Amino acid sequence: MRKQIAAANWKMNLTFQQGEKLLDDILGADIKLKEYQQTLFAVPFPYLLMARSEVEELRNYYVAAQNCYHRKNGAFTGEVSPEMLHSLAVPYCVVGHSERREYFNETNAMLADKVNLCLENFITPIFCCGESLTIRESGTQNQFVETQLKESLFHLSAEKIKDIVIAYEPIWAIGTGKTASTDQAQEMHAHLRSILGKQYGKDVADNISILYGGSVKANNAKELFSCADVDGGLVGGASLIADDFIQIIRALK
Ligand code: PGA
């Protein structure tokens, strides 16, 4: 079974104290994850150590960074490198979230560098891809995500790509309350897997987890996660409410 993942993306929300309480509430539900299931918390940088100590003793619960810089080190005031994250034993990092692409002008080439640095530092990138509404309406979403994958990931060897998690997040569904239908999600996830299959072979593609993101809620998670090629979700808004995220974790296959 591929890894099935419920990943919380807190974005720039919650104070430290609110974050601590949220984690206590979620972890207090004492959900025992199956061996192939994982729950991740992508928290703001200053909360990583706190969150890590909350999940440390728990099987298959991990922290993630929401971003990293695309250079190794140097005079980049305010940035955080993958090496720094590794020194805090952070095992995952979200790379190329659409908000970063949009507000911080992150390009596919820059994301390729981030992916490389993460892998060099034993961090699993959660690589985000996904199209805007305009692209969806023009019917070119398949080619669009294919280019995102090609330009940021396909320089990797088959051995390396195995260490990547992909998150398909249609921009029109993020924070809008508009979720992709299960058909739309399944169709795109199957497309992503087939592109990966063409490049790396079916065995490799079948082992890469592809998460869905974009208005995953307590009441639609089960249906979305039940799609054959959807391996869990990257969850923004609903991950900030303990009861909702608990239900989302429970909805994992
Ligand atoms: P949302 O965000 O669940 O609030 O739509 C998802 C994301 O941006 O990762």
The domains of the chain, with CATH numbers, are 9-15+67-236 (3.20.20.70)
- Cα–Cα distances in angstroms (integers) from residue 21 to residues 42, 49, 99, 245, in the given order: 15, 15, 26, 14
Token pair 């104070």: residue: 15
Q: Is 244 in the pocket of ligand 1 (CB under 6 A)?
A: no
Report the pLDDT value the prediction gives residue 8, as an integer from 0 to 100: 98
Cα 65 → chain centroid: 10
- Of 43, 166, 215, 247, the residue with max ligand 1 atoms within 8 A of its CB, to mutate for a pocket test, comes to 215
Per-residue pLDDT, 238: 98
CB of 102 sitting under 6 A from ligand 1? no
Is there a contact between 168 and 189 (Cβ–Cβ < 8 Å)? yes
> Residue 74 has what DSSP assignment?
S
Position 179 scores a pLDDT of 83
pLDDT at res. 127: 98
Q: What tokens were used for 75?
A: 């005079």
Q: Distances in Å between the alpha carbon of 98 and those of 22, 32, 159, 202?
A: 25, 31, 26, 28
Q: Ligand 1: which atom is nearest the Cα of residue 237?
A: 4
Supply the DSSP symbol for 33.
Answer: P
216 C-beta closer than 6 A to ligand 1 = yes
* Residue 140 DSSP symbol: -
pLDDT at 38: 98
Q: Which residues contact 129 (CB under 8 A, 6 or more apart)?
A: 96, 145, 148, 149, 166, 167, 168, 169, 192
Predicted local confidence at residue 91, as pLDDT: 98
For ligand 1, atom 6, the nearest C-alpha belongs to 236
* Ligand 1 atom closest to Cα of residue 174: 5
Torsion sign (Cα): 100, 102, 105, 111: positive
For the chain (length 253 residues), average pLDDT per consecutive 10?
97 98 97 97 98 97 98 98 98 98 97 98 98 94 97 97 97 84 95 98 97 96 97 98 98 98
Model confidence pTM above 0.85: yes
Report pLDDT for 173: 87
CA 105 / ligand 1 centre spacing (Å): 19
Catalytic residues: 97, 169
Mutate to test the pocket of ligand 1, among 235, 240, 241 (most ligand atoms within 8 A of CB): 235
Structure tokens at 78: 């305010």
- Residue 153 has what pLDDT? 98
Beta partners for residue 93, in sequence order: 65, 125
Question: What distance in Å separates the CA atoms of residue 146 and residue 132, rounded to the nearest whole number?
Answer: 14
Question: Ligand 1 in contact with 236 (CB < 6 A)?
Answer: yes
Residue to probe by mutation, ligand 1, list 174, 176, 215, 225, most atoms within 8 Å of CB: 174
